[in-house]
Structure 1
């Protein structure tokens, strides 16, 4: 069904509000029902905000609102993008700050730039990690088995069709880990720097992202048997992110004797000792943080 822009009391209502209102009537649901389903799905929106959207008094703005609109499309049995495409290019993308290389290492920056070029990507692409959770599995030998990353991605300008991702082993040349896509797209290209210290993959999104639009992507890095042992994990962002969480899970037969958190930014590096306190996993959280790299390192001897 196609809903045209309507005129009420001489005022043109935005097409977004028209379709939103008509879809609610067509589906036969109440605003209370919609608000409760959004909250159940992890996208809570105030009743007043939904009313503003329905009346056309306001339009959705920001990553959280866009994510909620994408869920509304599903709840109201609309085609994907039916409402998001009508929001228009003027909604804000939130505070993203200046894009910067996350580490203060000129050599690594050069290797990273060359890897992006090898992937056919811009050195600093116009994508932003709004919210990222990375889960690392550590095996009985104390080394990383895999890292699964789930990211709410946002376009900061233009239209994005591909997103590059890199894995670094500074000072330790290694073969490429195994990249795989779990959702939101596919791996279209891979490239390893001749140094063996930076490996990259290009992720082709399921659908293009216009300015300020968002999408969820999930991918996995695996380190097969025979791969040089890795006893650290982390995630870096080139722009300010809303949420970043690292969850590292250790094998119960290989709990480290020491842990340390390393926070690297373009300006400084901070190292903080951590403790499992009897647990088998540890998480690190940052909010409104970046650019920078958040790292966890561990070992099994006395810490020097």
Structure 2
């Protein structure tokens, strides 16, 4: 019968998923689990369910559980694993949606990852992992040299964006305090997303203790990357302060998406974001929000803008993830 022929492959897939989970637990008991045990079992279970990631997200939402499609994709690929309390709670519902035994996927996570300095050193993500579309960023980075960037610890970062009276972006000033973790470190990297494709690219200018090396642009993706070359190579333990600016052509100045988002692929001890609006054109509302590597919004709160057009937000021990501020303009003006 046609119905029986349809159900049998599904049964086989469910048996495969259950077998994959059982094999992982048998082969790697307790805290000796293989690093790919969880993503392998999850991929098999998703395939067995016959559900798309969008459909899985819909069913989780019906249970009052919020998990993004990006997070589900990361979990099954092994790029991320659920660790936050909310993610672990969602995993129990995911087991039910996928039709696997309760606790079977959670058991494959193994012990929590270490915290403190060991966790900080192991939490660095590829730069392109912070963009929804990784390939354009990855291709752009192949055109410049940032080989020693991974040997730099970002101790502090201060960004300032100046917004013009015409609501366009005038300037972004960046100040970083960096420490070398090995000898010979001589450069870091900057990647800037125009957000709105077709805007003119900014001019990147070195201000302190650095020069601008090779620059790569992707007009179609609206991306620009640049080498920030240190004036003097650092020895292990050395620190430096570098400053550079991104100057947008104008006036008139091109308008972005009315937000500023700093992407951190590794933790930073201190981040300060400063906004300066023209006093003649103040936003009606301004808020900060943060997004973790699982594409979940973790913080959202109002940011005050004073009469002089000044606003700021501060983060301590932040990342990896995105720290963003967005604003709305008054509705009675263009």
Question: In structure 2, do the counterparts of structure 1 residues 96 and 302 end up closer, same or farther at CA, with 3 Å as the change threshold?
Answer: farther
User: Map of 1:1-304 to 2, 5 A cutoff?
Assistant: 95-101=120-126, 107-122=132-147, 125-170=150-195, 172-225=197-250, 228-230=254-256, 231-267=258-294, 268-269=296-297, 270-276=299-305, 278=307, 280-302=309-331
- SS of the aligned residue for 1:182 comes to strand
Instruction: Give the C-alpha shift of residue 210 in structure 1.
Output: 2.3
Instruction: Give the C-alpha shift of residue 297 in structure 1.
Output: 1.5
Which structure exhibits the higher relative contact order, with contacts defined as CA atoms closer than 8 Å and separated by 6 or more residues?
1
**Kept after mapping to 2: 8 A contact 1:102/1:266:** no
Instruction: Give the C-alpha shift of residue 247 in structure 1.
Output: 0.8
Runs of 4+ more than 6 Å apart:
none
**Kept after mapping to 2: 8 A contact 1:129/1:237:** no
How far apart, in 1, do the equivalents of 2:128 and 2:214 lie?
A: 25
Going by fraction, where is strand more abundant, 1 or 2? 1
**Kept after mapping to 2: 8 A contact 1:142/1:256:** no
Unmatched 5+ stretches in structure 2: 1-116
Going by fraction, where is helix more abundant, 1 or 2? 2
- SS of the aligned residue for 1:119 comes to coil
- SS of the aligned residue for 1:114 comes to helix
Instruction: Give the C-alpha shift of residue 159 in structure 1.
Output: 2.4
Question: In structure 2, do the counterparts of structure 1 residues 128 and 112 end up closer, same or farther at CA, with 3 Å as the change threshold?
Answer: farther
How far apart, in 1, do the equivalents of 2:245 and 2:217 lie?
A: 17
How far apart, in 2, do the equivalents of 1:106 and 1:236 lie?
A: 9
Unmatched 5+ stretches in structure 1: 1-91
The Cα RMSD (Å) is 2.8
Which residue of 1 is the match for residue 92 of structure 2?
A: none
TM-score, normalising length from structure 1?
0.62
- The structure having more radius of gyration, on CA atoms, is 2
**Kept after mapping to 2: 8 A contact 1:144/1:232:** no
